[in-house]
Each structure stands twice: as C-alpha cells, then as structure tokens.
Amino acid sequence: GQNIDQPTEMTATEGAIVQINCTYQTSGFNGLFWYQQHAGEAPTFLSYNVLDGLEEKGRFSSFLSRSKGYSYLLLKELQMKDSASYLCAVRAGDYKLSFGAGTTVTVRA
C-alpha cells in the first residue's frame, strides 16, 4: 500500500505564499498529482510530476524528488478563492491513485 502524509491545516494571508509538503512511500511510482477541492465540490486537477524537478503553472508550482519521496505544492499571490483542501495523490502502476488526507488552506484578508 501507499503511505502519504501532508499537513492537516495551513493558514496564510492574502497575497502571500504557502508551501504544502507531501511525503510518500510507495512501490511502482508512476506520478504524483495535486488536486484542489472546495467544500462539496469535485477534486480539480492542479498539477502532475513524474520526473524530478519543478513544474510551474501560473500561480501554482509543484516540485518532486523521487529519491526523497517528497513533493510540495507552492501557491503564490494567494487569493481568497484559494481557500480549499489540497490533495496529494500518488499513482502506482498505470492507474490507481492513492490520496493523502488533504491539507485545508485558509486564506485570510
């Protein structure tokens, strides 16, 4: 099975930067995904890393180190609408995603 850990909660100020860490233990690693989930809504895809390094998409960036079993999601220029749960998920093999419990980010004015 997979063991995926991420912080439960984080709070930050509008306009600031927040980094959400995710550590994992898995066999057959085939990609790490970050999803955003607002309360009562579908998880929405944010980013995907399969090779080591940084992937940047606008205000969101994600980093992966396979040797360390570590990823982070960086949210820049925080906006109130970024208040949500952020889910780290690992794919082992071709298809199955295993999720962490999610990190609830609260953005304050």
Partner 1 sequence: GAGVSQTPSNKVTEKGKYVELRCDPISGHTALYWYRQSLGQGPEFLIYFQGTGAADDSGLPNDRFFAVRPEGSVSTLKIQRTERGDSAVYLCASDFVGDIQYFGAGTRLSVL
Task: Let me know: does 109 contact 61? Beta carbons within 8 Å.
Answer: no
SS3 8: coil
Per CB under 8 A, 60 contacts partner 1: no
Residue from the set 20, 43, 49, 82 that interacts with partner 1 by CB under 8 A: 43
SS3 85: strand
Per CB under 8 A, 69 contacts partner 1: no
Return the number of the residue (22 or 75) whose C-beta is nearest partner 1: 22
Per CB under 8 A, 64 contacts partner 1: no
Q: How many angstroms separate the CA atoms of 16 and 13, rounded? A: 6
Per CB under 8 A, 100 contacts partner 1: yes
